[in-house]
With several copies, the nearest count.
Chain A
Amino acid sequence: MTRAKKILNDPRRVVEEMVEGLELANDGRVVRVPGHAALVRRDIPGGKVALLIGGGSGHEPLFHGFIGHNLADGAACGQVFAAPAPDIIHAAARAVHRGRGILFLYGNYAGDNMNFDIAADLLGDDGIEVRTVRVRDDVAAAPPERVHDRRGIAGDILMIKIVGGAAAVHESLDEVERIARKAEANVRTIGVAVTAGSLPETGRPTFVLADDEIEVGMGAHGEAGVRRQKITTADAVADQMVGALLADLPFARGDEIALVINNFGATTMMEMLIVNRRVRQILAGAGIGVHRTHIGTWLTVQEMAGFSITFMRLDDELRRFLDMPCDSFGFQRM
């Protein structure tokens, strides 16, 4: 088996070197927690409710590129596709805490859940209050009645944006948690994979698809989706994906949404724009308005080709936080 072709140094040190490179890429706005694969804002205001995010590495710029003004205060970085260990989370949490408690916001995976929960226990021992909101936006992972079995994927992008805004404005952890839960209840994503990504350390693809196959519902680590099928047109793929999203919440005529089309890695922007054309035709037909569109590369699965479509139903409160300016390495808004 041939290794994936990548420009790396030591494949076993990718996360360490990536974190170094990412700290430097922040031009001083973000610093590393000494001794840990964790990054935090340099200028967290006193008395702020802290927002801590994190998860496995390999999805760059998520999560650790989303630290900054009106976004997250810090992030704990795991190894590639592996939740961060409790002591990384614990150290990051202590570094971002400003006396008003911490919201943990991350994707719903067994590994993340357990490691963040262990860290929360440790912080409880330290007398620091922690609340946890898990993003469970992947409609392909489980039916709606088993939402606790759903994975967190590109919904993270809008969640960090909104909760980052809420945590910048509200001084109560209760309020920030309430807003996070509302946003989470209104966000839905579905992905499609075209070709596989690989783990830098093994160089091996995370799954194998035939040349004429795609997988609809693919997760963010190469986990299987709802079905493997023949590749078809952009319009047909968009129809299928949007159909699954609309039916799930369900979204209804008169709703206004935020739309994200997220590149899992190697898909061209041209393909995503062509998909967007169709998505908008369907939404217009369904009487659903789009408040904001984001199309780009945020939650990656290494060099996997594929993309996901995210809808979040908005109300005035969510719209307010979505529209706030923000700044970070991986996500900006004027």
Chain B
Amino acid sequence: MKGALDGEGTRALLQAAAAAILSGVDRLTEADMATGDGDHGIGMRRGFEAAVAALSGLEAPSPALALKAVGTAVMASTGGAAGAVFGTWFRAGARPLEGQGTLDGAGLATFLETGLEAVCRRGGAAEGQKTMIDALAPAARAARAAAGAGLGPALAAAAAAAGAGAEATRAMLATTGKARSLGERSRGHIDPGALSVTLILGAMRDHLGAG
């Protein structure tokens, strides 16, 4: 596993994340049909198809530029709650990395933490409300704890924590977003946005492990 990635490496990492979303569309649709309005899969497809296009248009990007390109594309093309939330995560998360030539474990942790904070500010939600925050927040904590070991270990920890966090949303009662009004009926189903976070971080981990 690599300890850090340059801009090209980050671009490849993000392409792997996008590919995971694009091949997970049906799962995301199912998840949003159970708790929301059924469009999370097709929304994320719009956003990450645009992200792939944006990434391939970049010339010699820095890690921050690659992350920001994804955020901007997702923000512009996804729509719905997911567009704002995932766009904000990537755009805000990229900002503190500007000027850095590589993405390492600490950089990943910063990206996740800063993105998380911006998402919470934008949407007014917090952990425990059955949203993607319940995957992103534990991922950010896990990445920070493993940051010193390098990007690979930090990503592995983040992906595992995101997965556990997403799993934990099953037991939660939705109190925000379109699933909110389901009340008790929202229990038992995984939050679609949390599942997307897991797909993204899991694909990054696998990409790095394979790379």
A and B touch in the complex (CB under 8 A): yes
Contact, CB under 8 Å: A85 / B78: yes
Residue contact B83 to A202, C-beta cutoff 8 Å: no
Number of interface residues of B (CB under 8 A): 36
List the one stretch of B39-47, B57-65, B147-155 in contact with chain A: B39-47
A binding-site residues for B, Cβ under 8 Å: 56, 78-87, 109-111, 113-115, 117-118, 140-142, 149, 151, 199, 201-202, 204, 206-207, 217, 219, 221-225
Instruction: Given A141-B180, A199-B38, decide whether A110 and B79 contact each other with a Cβ distance below 8 A.
Output: no
**Would you call the interface of chain A mostly helix, strand, loop, or mixed?**
loop
A-B CB proximity, top 4 nearest:
A82-B80, A114-B84, A221-B37, A111-B81
- Which residues of the other chain, A, contact B38 by a CB distance below 8 angstroms? 81, 199, 202, 204, 206, 222
A residues near B178, Cβ cutoff 8 Å = 109-111, 219, 221, 223
* B101 touches A (CB below 8 Å): no
Q: Does B135 contact A (CB under 8 A)?
A: no
When distances are taken between beta carbons in the complex, the residues of chain B under 8 Å from A111 are: 79-84, 177-178
Q: Is B96 an interface residue (CB 8 A)?
A: no
User: Is B200 interfacial (CB-CB < 8 Å)?
Assistant: no
Q: What is B's interface to A at a CB cutoff of 8 Å?
A: 29, 33, 36-39, 41-43, 46, 75-85, 87-88, 122-123, 125, 175-183, 185
Q: Are A115 and B180 in contact (CB under 8 A)?
A: no
A79 touches B183 (CB 8 A): no
Residues of A within 8 A of B42 (CB): 79, 199, 201-202
> In whole angstroms, how far apart are the Cα atoms of A87 and B87 in the complex?
12
Instruction: Kindly provide the distance from the CB of A19 to the nearest chain B CB, expressed in whole angstroms.
Output: 14
List, in ascending order, chain B residues with CB within 8 A of A201's CB: 39, 42
| Shortest CB distance A284–B (Å) | 30
